[in-house]
Amino acid sequence: MNSPANLFASVPKRSSRAPVAPFLPMSRAEMDKLGWDSCDIILITGDAYIDHPSFGMALVGRLLEAQGYRVGIISQPDWTSVEPFRALGKPNLYWGITAGNMDSMVNRYTADRKIRSDDAYTPDGAPNKRPDRAVTVYCQRAREAFPGVPVIAGSIEASLRRIAHYDYWSDKVRRSVLFESKADLVIFGNAERALVDVTRRIAAGENIKSIRDLRGTAFLVPHGWLPDEEWSVHNSTRVDVPGRIDRQPNPYAMALEDPKACALDNAQPEPVAKPIVIMTREERQAAAREKAQKTVVRLPSFETVSEDPVMYAHASRVFHLESNPGNARALVQQHGDRDVWLNAPPLPLAMDEMDGVYDLNYARAPHPSYGKAHIPAWEMIRYSVNIMRGCFGGCTFCSITEHEGRIIQSRSEPSILREIELIRDTTKNFAGTITDLGGPTANMYRLACKDKKIEETCRRLSCVYPTICSNLGTDHSKLISLYRKARAIPGIKKILIGQDDEAGYRRLRRIQGAVRQVFEGSGQEAVPDPVLHRRAPGQHGRRHAEPGALAQEEQLPPRPGADVHADADGDGDDHVPLREEPAAQGQRRFRGRRDGQERQDPQAAQGVPALLRSGKLARAARRTAPHGAW
């Protein structure tokens, strides 16, 4: 994996750059105050504009501003007319299109395909401020507003739809987003490096149709197109052999299957003797050349995967196998008479580059045009700090690995501590509590493969499944050191850590043990009240799932839970709040027992959250933690 040029290596001198804008302009009046007659790049987003690094459009906009470009933002435009897309005039270089921090369909619909009543990324939580499949709609309107201006799409919505994909909302396999949106380029994954490179090349006069060599980009080409004659094409069956798809078991089924009834299906095939192949040096070199940069893997076509579930599963597996930036090859998939070409994934940012991105001149507030409007997403993260990206878990129900990559990208300790001090000194109404010091997978901060060469050649989809890789470094000392230094900053009273599902599950089990210890011999009954997922994606009906084996073993009465949402790959992605689930409303009172008996004492044990009010219980739960008391 070749080391790329530093993200900030070619930043122009301050004297040759436009002054830093208090906020990126959203109107002509703001452009006039800055002395701008036009914008180099105009970003269109489905979210409210909040100038904070947790929001993609702000991070991208400030990064491009630091590179010397004039960047404007059109936030949540009225897509029923083209005029709002002309508000800032014609961009000099290109349009940048994003649906926002969330997939627009997940943002607007519950897992039951019911329209949500609010939108956390909109002032006052107002719904219906963005269209369905916002990337597609915004791209089409931008091209209509000023034909001939290049259109570049990004965000998680575009990333997860870059090849033929199962669409949960229409219950069918849809074509790549490149076809419907008609974007010139899709930048997937961590976009900073590709975005800076493509902007420099367009500014230098290069036609976007000729930019075909950037990592982390996808585009349309004629069927059979290759960059040059040195490229070779490998069929995807050389990477993975398609096989039979077994019927998905019902995770809530209580009846035991009759082993005799499935004896033939479950019977192990006779072992096949395979000869040992002793490779010569030349053969090993030939195998190594096969993984060279000038090889593209051809996936099954859109027409094939839309009709054959086995080939869809095969294409999905190859797609994930070719995701390590150290050894991934380009991918190509036919859609009719054209191909979708995907270059290798982007190289992860180095620590100093991550610091540079998060240390930019953010206002750390919503745009003043929103006045005193309440923006729920901003309220949630205003006192939080992002310390890393990525996840090496590779869970099938989550899209973090697919979007941000398997290699953990972490900020340095000084950069994180500086941001905490900045929040303390500049954020209004800060009371001393950092609400989250984390990221997508906070407990993976600065964890990595023990050997860089092994990491670059690894083909595993997960570092922790089916077993924890022996090459995975699991030393949390740097993370614990960061926590302690953050807590020691003057003016910081408390540091909270957001936990992932797995960590929360382990903690729940420790708490349950502590609950029983506290109540043992007291004559009182400990009644934890767990929330269970009601249905997996694609499972319909209004009946709650029956408690599984764990709940039966623990004799836990579950209350109404939540459905698991589906992302563009049909995997579960989000947990839908109970209040937004019509199927759960009215079936039982939230604080009532399943047997209909109401709890009389509001201060009595009502499950784990209420029990944690006991200091004795909380101390007992913490003592069982393997890392010791905090």
CATH number at residue 80: 3.40.50.280
- We report the CATH number of the domain holding residue 491 as 3.30.750
Mark whether 330 and 402 lie in a shared domain.
no
Question: Does a structural domain hold residue 609?
Answer: no
Residues 45-56: tens digit of each pLDDT = 999 999 999 999
Give the pLDDT score at 277. 75
Q: Is 288 exposed, middle or buried (0-12, 13-18, 19+ CB in 10 A)?
A: exposed
Residues 148, 184: one domain? yes
Total Cβ atoms within 10 A of residue 167: 18
For 573-590, the pLDDT digits (tens) are: 433 333 343 443 333 333
Range of weakest confidence among 49-58, 259-268, 309-318, 414-423: 259-268
Residues 188, 235 within the same domain: no
- The mean predicted confidence, pLDDT, of the chain is 81
Pair (45, 151) in one structural domain: yes
Question: Is 505 part of any domain?
Answer: no
Question: How does pLDDT run across 119-172, given as a tens digit for each residue?
Answer: 999 999 999 999 999 999 999 999 999 999 999 999 999 999 999 999 999 999
Domain count, the chain: 3
User: Within this chain, do residues 294 and 414 fall inside the same structural domain, yes or no?
Assistant: no
Contact 121, 100 (CB under 8 A): yes
Note whether 135 and 98 are within 8 A (CB). yes
Who has greater pLDDT, 378 or 621?
378
Residue 417 is assigned to a structural domain of this protein: yes
Per-residue tokens: 124: 């006052």
> What range does the domain containing 156 cover?
14-216
Q: Contacts for 113-121 with beta carbons within 8 Å, 24 or more apart?
A: 113/169, 114/580, 114/581, 114/582, 116/580, 117/580, 118/376, 120/375, 120/376, 120/377, 120/380, 121/46, 121/47, 121/48, 121/375, 121/376, 121/377
pLDDT category at 505 given cuts 50, 70, 90 is: very low
Q: What is the pLDDT of residue 506?
A: 47
Asked which of 468, 498, 528 is the last residue of a domain, the reply is: 498
Q: Are residues 231 and 157 in the same domain?
A: no
**Where a domain ends, among 466, 498, 530?**
498
Query: Does residue 118 share a domain with residue 40?
Result: yes
Q: What is the pLDDT of residue 248?
A: 67
Assess if residue 123 is contained within a domain.
Answer: yes
pLDDT score, position 275: 76
